[in-house]
Structure 1
Amino acid sequence: MATYGVAEAKNKFTHLLDRVEKGESITITRHGKPVAELHAPARPIPRHKGPEWQAWYDEFVKRRDARPPLGMSAAELVRAMRDGDPE
């Protein structure tokens, strides 16, 4: 298992993720003490979408499209939420 300090791991994060994706485990240390481990998930991430996912997505799109439009842009909505407007 490879070991990297926090600063070095930060600088090489993308490279470390590539190594983890290939099955390697990485330990990250702070002041010489292990604080985190990077390893591949127990269940592999599916690389293709199956029929169950497609059915879920089709239903999601159908429900989304059935909703009435909000009547304002996303920027206007965020501005209203930020400024505390009652609408």
Structure 2
Amino acid sequence: MAAVKASGLVLSRPVTFVTSNAKKLEEVRTILGESIPFQSLKLDVPELQGEPEDISREKARLAAIEVGGPVLVEDTCLCFNALKGLPGPYM
């Protein structure tokens, strides 16, 4: 497989953006443009609980195992300072 150079990095294959949301995919395509080669894949990963960073890290780890390569995941949280960060990932 040929290596692809993207923004100073050498990738041996495209990054897989794991989403079933067409709007998220459209947004990522707009942001990344052609700078990083990627493909999208609808993949069911568990809805995890915990801190936002831990949730994203574990989703990426599980998706990478399933895909067998590099992945990009996205998770949304809504945090209010007056509520000490709640509802956070539980919205």
Larger helix share, 1 or 2: 1
Q: Which has the higher contact order (CA 8 A, sep 6+)?
A: 2
Give the strand-richer structure, 1 or 2: 2
Larger gyration radius, structure 1 or structure 2? 1
TM-score by length of 1: 0.24
What TM-score results when the alignment is normalised by the length of structure 2?
A: 0.23
